[in-house]
């Protein structure tokens, strides 16, 4: 019989563990452990979102091509430092307020993000290329997550 036994006022545990033959339960526990370690890693990152109002489809594609170059060439002290880079054309929706291209980058620290803004040669090249495009507005925000939830 599986009775709950109090360990402390806030903790409960089963008297007997889950059956060893329950492969499904084992896999579920492993998946839960993997998710929680990923969440901790994601929560430590600085997430930056930049949105562009680029009305011309050809300019949108040029921006995305520049982000591909940033992804391939961005280095700090001879090593890649951008943990994640995702960019794409926004879906047509009235809530987008005219923003057409969205880029999300993740950094290990605020210092890495500041390096990206001020010193990264690949990012400087993207900024220079963007000056030749029709861009009616840019919005950038960054944050460190307080809530992280991922489903597998």
User: In this model, does residue 152 exceed pLDDT 50?
Assistant: yes
> Which residues, at least 6 apart from 117, have a Cβ–Cβ distance to it below 8 Å?
123
Domains by residue range for the chain, with CATH:
44-143 (3.30.70.100)
Residues 80-120 pLDDT 10s: 999 999 999 999 999 999 999 999 999 999 999 999 999 99
- % pLDDT > 70, the chain: 72
Q: What is the pLDDT of residue 151?
A: 84
Name the band, by pLDDT with cuts 50, 70 and 90, for residue 137: very high
């Amino acid at each position: 019989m599986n009775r709950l036994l109090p360990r402390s006022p806030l903790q409960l545990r089963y008297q007997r563990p889950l059956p060893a033959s329950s492969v499904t339960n084992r896999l579920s526990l492993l998946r839960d452990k993997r998710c929680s370690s990923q969440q901790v890693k994601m929560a430590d990152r600085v997430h930056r979102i930049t949105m562009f109002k680029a009305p011309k489809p050809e300019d949108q594609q040029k921006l995305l091509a520049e982000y591909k170059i940033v992804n391939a060439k961005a280095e700090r002290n001879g090593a890649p430092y951008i943990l994640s880079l995702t960019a794409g054309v926004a879906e047509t929706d009235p809530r987008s307020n005219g923003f057409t291209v969205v880029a999300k980058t993740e950094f290990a620290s605020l210092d890495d993000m500041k390096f990206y803004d001020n010193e990264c040669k690949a990012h400087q090249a993207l900024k220079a290329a963007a000056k030749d495009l029709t861009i009616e507005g840019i919005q950038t925000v960054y944050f460190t997550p307080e809530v992280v939830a991922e489903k597998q």
